[in-house]
Structure 1
Amino acid sequence: MKKMILLFSLLLLSGCYLANGSPPSFRFWIAPEGISEEQEKKISHDCDKKAYNMLDESQKRLFDKGDTSWEEIYKNKNEYKRYREVTRLNEKYYEQCLYDSGFRFRPPLVWCLAQDGDNTKICMENMKYRN
């Protein structure tokens, strides 16, 4: 019985990240084989630009405003909601660009099961980018 309780508690803890929380999702985008770190950074930078350029002008203004006046956006509930929608849309464009460039999203199961963020949701959304 003691072994069973120990095994169960270890299983629960395996889905937890302690102290600093789980790492961000961008760490689990795996570059294609044979690509240098410099090329990897260039692709990431190009995809960042491409994702930004896919936003319309009002979305770009709101996205840019988040860089300079985050506190102002956070205080206004409606503006914050719109800001989160724009950042999620930008992330989707960015992730699609990475996938098209040969990167694959391969997080460990433990990361997907961690309860300290939207990891499960991110894993479900990015399942299409695994292969």
Structure 2
Amino acid sequence: ITQLGHVEDLATAMARCLEVDAAANRIYNCTDTHGVTFRGLVAAAARACGKDPEQVELRSFDPSGLDPKARKAFPLRLTHFLTSVERLRKELAWTPQFDLEAGLRDSYSKDHSQRPAADVDFSRDGSLFQA
């Protein structure tokens, strides 16, 4: 189970930190307010791309061969990771504007519209299934 946040929510929170003197030297968690499983994340990403989650092939892998601190091979933590944004809400009057699905739709829309000229490199993905 993990949490993700949207870059625009992060930017807004960072701007609030600069505007509020009491935020100096404080640490804030900035993310969505709900956790999601990896399977739930895949389903949400499929919906964001206009795909039926039931039609997405989902392959599991054995994470025991991966170094949990080596985040390059797998961009999410291999352990559960949930945080609270309550301090950010209370001290900086901040609330996320994007839930997981809205954030994924927004990101997909913006990234997909860029149409990268080069093919996407999925070579690291293969290493997950060989771990």
Structure number having the greater helix percentage? 1
Normalised by the length of structure 1, the TM-score is 0.25
| Higher-Rg member (1/2) | 1
